Structure 1
Amino acid sequence: MDNMLEMLKELTDANGIPGNEREPRDVMKKHISAYADEVKTDHLGSLIARKQGGKEDDPKIMVAGHLDEIGFMVTNIDDRGFLKFQCVGGWWEQVMLAQRVTVMTKDGSIPGVIGSKPPHILAPEARKKSVDKKEMFIDIGAADKEEAASFGVRPGDSVVPVCDFTVMKNEKYLMAKAWDNRIGCAIAVEVLKRLENESHPNTVYGVGTVQEEVGLRGAKTSAHAIKPDIGFGVDVGIAGDTPGVTEKDALSKMGEGPQIIMYDASMISHKGLRDFVTGTADEKEIPYQFDAVPGGGTDSGSIHLTADGVPALSITIATRYIHTHAAILHRDDFENAVQLIVEVIKKLDRDTVHTLTFD
């Protein structure tokens, strides 16, 4: 496994739901510190790594992926030792039952599974319906409430999906939990790394934000701290290349380049910046795809509303099965996203940023 894959494995195997992103933040800090002049954390927990390119008054470019992954939170332990929970981030009931989870207690991590009824005892009509989240529970192998408590479990504990990082038979295809959005954090790390020996007229911030999945919250605080001139939200997008997904649902395919998001529920992309990015991609022959996601948003949605406004764009990676336990993406899309952002940063100077701002 090469160094890049090792980083991706460490990032995705780390456990961190919204409000408890310490593990992935530590991994990101480990990998980005060598390429940054300063690494700090804002008061909500977002990691901010600064790399000075030239003068202190050069444009500030923010490249932000979010550290958190969707998961669950323990709300109660019943008398029989089963855990009740609430979702933290967006889940669809149909992908939850009978899936393995890890409960993060004060005494360490313990395994569990979201319980389900055998089909043998379900009425025919019941088999056709999804089970409501409120009816679900987690089985941690405890005999009763007292034993569950003795394991260290208590309300408020984080619960994360289980899926080890896996390089698939086609080695370009990578499967893991938490691609949403440790791939964005990896892009931020790699952008700073590739700029290490490049001349560019900018100060670049590689950021790992917190609590994106519950309202783009860390992007608000970190962007307020940075006050960027240009913002890029790097995240996953929807891959439209699996059975049952049509072009009406998603336009992009894995392996055909990063997605340039024209519109989502959190923002309309800045046209001047979008044209500048796609023009750079055309010039450098970097593949890309356009897409729109009317039902979701990225950190760009908070970044672009900072202070008196920030030209911002979401650049995403087409990913299969997002917001489930196991997602798949294509390594080439990651590599091309990094190359594109690096080439854009090298071309962004004060005059160009000023032109974009008032375009």
Structure 2
Amino acid sequence: MDANYDLLRELTEAHGAPGHEDRIREIVRRELAAVADDVRTDAMGNVVATVEGAESPDYEVAVAAHMDEIGFMVTHVTDAGFLKLDALGGWDPRVLRAQRVTVHASEGDLEGIIGSPPPHTMSEEERESTDEVADLYVDLGRDGEEVADLVSVGDVVTMAQDTRVLGDTVTGKSMDDRVCLFAMLEAAKRITPDVTVHFAATVQEEVGLRGAKALGVDLDPDLALALDVTVANDIPQFSDESKHVTELGAGAAIKLKDGSVITNPKVHKRMQSVAETRDIAHQLEVLPAGGTDTAGFQNTNGAKPVGAISVPLRYMHTVTEAAHEDDIDATVDLLAAVLDTEDGAHDYRL
């Protein structure tokens, strides 16, 4: 990978559930302070770093990538010291049993596990039952009285996982969307834009695009571009290639639609043209379901032209999400090229 792997690892291993993105916010502010003319946060916790345009500063582009990762909030502490959870974002409970977690308590982080009963003592009905998040418990390995002193209702819980290079891929938790946040930070360090660019690290995307919707009003950009991961189902469980959506190693994905947005045709065609001119590997994305910050900007404050670049990701919303190094590099290259060639004169009206 051409870009800074240590920064990507720092971002993905840091913890930041929706509404609790503090640790990610610190990294973003640190990385953008040297390249932006102004760095600020708002009442929700969005970070906006503005680079003033050299030629057409009145034309403004917003680039968004979200900081939050899916997680949980403690709803109850049992007398025996086990924690009950409510989901913050879209979990598949099947992947949660027998996982390590971090409980972010007021006095510091605590290690825990989501236990799984041994199959030897489960009935056939129990083995075949479908899990819900409400069925899971976090075990802290402490007695009930100690846990009651340490943990409160409302404390946030995130998955515990390190980030590793696996062949040509990088795998870990919260690649959604820290890999795109990483791409945005790297692109910001490369460009000298003619137009003003607002690099926005958004909050609470996983629970309804909330940070982006607020910035759609507050920034009111002339053009908005979002970065997020997308599904790469090029795995044995999907023999039908039409259901792959994207493929690892085939380049940055230029979004045409997802479940929340149909991108502006003139915007995504310009992205394709830039990619072809610069010989940047790319593919087209049509995602049947799911949403991204792109939608948060499109019509929150009137009609805006929007586009999106996605990093293909295997095993989304698990602790082993995996992205290809070449696709990460291509995403950085494409975003930087699109921003460097935006002069404010393109007419994106349809």
SS of the residue corresponding to residue 90 of structure 2 reads coil
Please list, as runs of the form range in 1=range in 2, the aligned pairs for 1:161-240 lying within 5 A after superposition: 161-168=159-166, 170=167, 172-195=168-191, 198=192, 200-240=193-233
* Cα distance per residue 1:245-264 (max 9 Å; x no partner): 23333231111101112111
1:335 to 323, 329, 336: 329
Q: Structure 1 stretches of 5 or more lacking a match?
A: none
1:155 to 140, 153, 159: 153
Alpha-carbon contact 2:64-2:201 (below 8 Å) kept: yes
User: What does residue 87 of structure 2 align with?
Assistant: 87
Displacement of 1:179 in angstroms is 0.6
Displacement of 1:18 in angstroms is 0.3
User: What does residue 68 of structure 1 align with?
Assistant: 68
Alpha-carbon contact 2:56-2:343 (below 8 Å) kept: no
SS of the residue corresponding to residue 349 of structure 1 reads coil
User: What does residue 127 of structure 1 align with?
Assistant: 127
Alpha-carbon contact 1:9-1:165 (below 8 Å) kept: yes
TM-score, length-scaled by structure 2: 0.96
CA distance in 1, matches of 2:48, 2:68: 15
CA distance in 2, matches of 1:158, 1:317: 27
* Cα distance per residue 1:321-355 (max 9 Å; x no partner): 11112211112111111111111122222221xx1
User: What does residue 16 of structure 1 align with?
Assistant: 16
Identity %: 36
* Cα distance per residue 1:263-295 (max 9 Å; x no partner): 111111111101111111111111111121222
CA distance in 2, matches of 1:284, 1:2: 17
Displacement of 1:57 in angstroms is 3.9
* Cα distance per residue 1:11-61 (max 9 Å; x no partner): 111100001000011111111211111100011001101111215643211
* Cα distance per residue 1:111-141 (max 9 Å; x no partner): 1111211000112233223222222111011
Does residue 236 of structure 2 align to residue 243 of structure 1?
yes
SS of the residue corresponding to residue 58 of structure 1 reads strand
Give the aligned CA root-mean-square deviation in angstroms: 1.5
User: What does residue 320 of structure 2 align with?
Assistant: 326
Alpha-carbon contact 2:2-2:329 (below 8 Å) kept: no
User: What does residue 339 of structure 2 align with?
Assistant: 345
Displacement of 1:2 in angstroms is 8.7
AA aligned opposite 1:255:
G
SS of the residue corresponding to residue 111 of structure 2 reads strand
Q: Structure 2 stretches of 5 or more lacking a match?
A: none
CA distance in 2, matches of 1:224, 1:231: 12
User: What does residue 270 of structure 2 align with?
Assistant: 276
CA distance in 2, matches of 1:25, 1:184: 14
CA distance in 2, matches of 1:16, 1:24: 6
Distance 1:296 1:2, change over 3 A: closer
Alpha-carbon contact 2:18-2:88 (below 8 Å) kept: yes
* Cα distance per residue 1:43-99 (max 9 Å; x no partner): 100110111121564321111110000011101101100000111000011111111
Count of matched residue pairs: 349
CA distance in 2, matches of 1:32, 1:130: 44
CA distance in 2, matches of 1:306, 1:272: 20
SS of the residue corresponding to residue 338 of structure 1 reads helix
Displacement of 1:3 in angstroms is 7.1
TM-score, length-scaled by structure 1: 0.94
Does residue 58 of structure 2 align to residue 58 of structure 1?
yes
Alpha-carbon contact 1:65-1:183 (below 8 Å) kept: no
CA distance in 1, matches of 2:112, 2:213: 34
SS of the residue corresponding to residue 321 of structure 1 reads coil
* Cα distance per residue 1:115-171 (max 9 Å; x no partner): 211000112233223222222111011211x21022x21011110011111122x2x
CA distance in 2, matches of 1:206, 1:223: 13
CA distance in 2, matches of 1:241, 1:295: 17
Alpha-carbon contact 1:64-1:232 (below 8 Å) kept: yes
AA aligned opposite 1:178:
S
AA aligned opposite 1:163:
Q
Does residue 295 of structure 2 align to residue 295 of structure 1?
no
Alpha-carbon contact 1:227-1:306 (below 8 Å) kept: no
The ranges of structure 1 where at least 4 consecutive aligned residues each deviate by more than 3 angstroms after the TM superposition are 55-58
Displacement of 1:316 in angstroms is 0.6
Alpha-carbon contact 1:42-1:221 (below 8 Å) kept: no
